[in-house]
A and B are shown apart, each in its own frame.
Chain A
Amino acid sequence: MRKRGKSARQARTLLLFGVVFVLVLIVIVSSLGRREFNLVHRLGLEVVGAVQAVGTGVGGYFAGIWTDYRELIGVRDENRRLREELRHYQAATTQYREAVATNVRLQKLLGLKESLPDPTITARVIGRDPSLWFKTLTIDRGSSDGVERGMPAVTVEGIVGQVINTSPNYAKILLANDPNSAVDVIIQKNRVQGIIKGDGNEFVLHYVLRNSDVEKGDHIITSGLGGVFPQGLPVGRVAEVVRSPRGMFQSIMVEPAADFSRLEHLIIIMKKSPLTE
């Protein structure tokens, strides 16, 4: 009885497989040579296509992560390389800019040098006074270059000071804004004479009578009377005028024409001055 049941089940299985096989065979045979999908193909495509879509999405996602990661490494290297290139070009640009600025400055100095009547020599500022009380500079020209005590120092902007000490290769300049400096000047518009003295930062114009016409913005130039500076060099512009009710003279503050904090090159006018003797 049990044996009969087993053989009947085997027969049903075989029949099922046979039917499926025949159906598949029919489908294959019926689709041979055709270009259009039949129902089974379409169904297969729908199901597998959906899986494919999911698979491609997931694969694409992970592939994207991987690609991003690989690109990130590349970007990091590229970034490093670009930064180095940028640094290199920035340094080069700074050098070019500095060269251009130096060129412009030296051209101006050359122009001034040619316009001055006395022989001149160009000097580089190599040191500054470190103290709070004095305003002096050290330059890279000395007595072996013909620099002597009392010679005036100027820039394109205006007067700077005068030589107070020399050694064979270096010299010390007393800046015009030092309290120990005094320069004979005139107000350009009305030729009123006065003495410019330094106050540590700016100039103070002394000995200008109260009734003299002096206004803010007036140009001050050297008078040439002191025997140190040639006549007509720019000194500065009047910054403030105070007329006190008492006293003979006005109190006049003058903004220097030269920027003493940014001096790099100077011209020494090789003129014998009374200080030399």
Chain B
Amino acid sequence: MATGTESPRQRGGVHTGTRAAITAPHLRTDRWWLAPACTAAGLLAFVVYSTWRAFANADYYAAPYVSPFYSPCLAENCHAMRAGPNADLFGGWWGISPAIIILVFPLGFRLTCYYYRKAYYRAFWASPPACAVAEPHRSYTGESRFPLILQNVHRYFFYAALLVAGVLTYDTVLAFRDQHYRWGHMGLGTLVFLANIVLIWAYTLSCHSCRHIVGGKLKHFSKHPLRYRAWQFVGALNARHMQLAWASLLSVALADLYVYLVASGVFDDPRFF
């Protein structure tokens, strides 16, 4: 997107000759840096945690719970999960953690998400760091060229994310069993999984691509009343896309952490019935 950096005095932008001669790259007096700093800290924390868990290849199944990072589990080296989300598509040659196979899709979905793009462009690439705060890059082509033109694959990842959300819904249904696979039971983990799947679906359906597909692409809503209603519903979710992005990111990490703690024997899943 942008290349090279140099001091403000050397470059154009707000220091272009015809503009008001003001030396400072910006004159904001509020704490404009706080939001990008918090964003960077939150995303970095998740990246560190999820990288550790994705490569750990251990403690991701504690019957009847399977970590959302490892579901569906598509390699032969997956933990045997009775009636669980196993599908040995990759066979025995896959030697590393099976989480890597599936995490590509939710990762890609979030990486190309319109909200996260705003978040990391601001927080990590300072493009711009905040509104009316000069960015440090000499040139800028945005998403008009490779590699950032690839952000347009968000639509592909949205379709994949629907499938992953479907599998996680299945996992949540499986969480209504006990550790002996008997149905009609519920534990604290079931609640964690329920909260997580609600947030995952809310985030996935609030996606801008979803909003466009269900109705936004239409020119005449009046000719498609059902799609208009769907567009309104998704639009209401979409207005909270940022909040849902963070809430679902946190919930998926917490669901994985819960499984990890139970699987590693830190505590037993409290059973309600």
Q: Do A and B come from one complex?
A: no
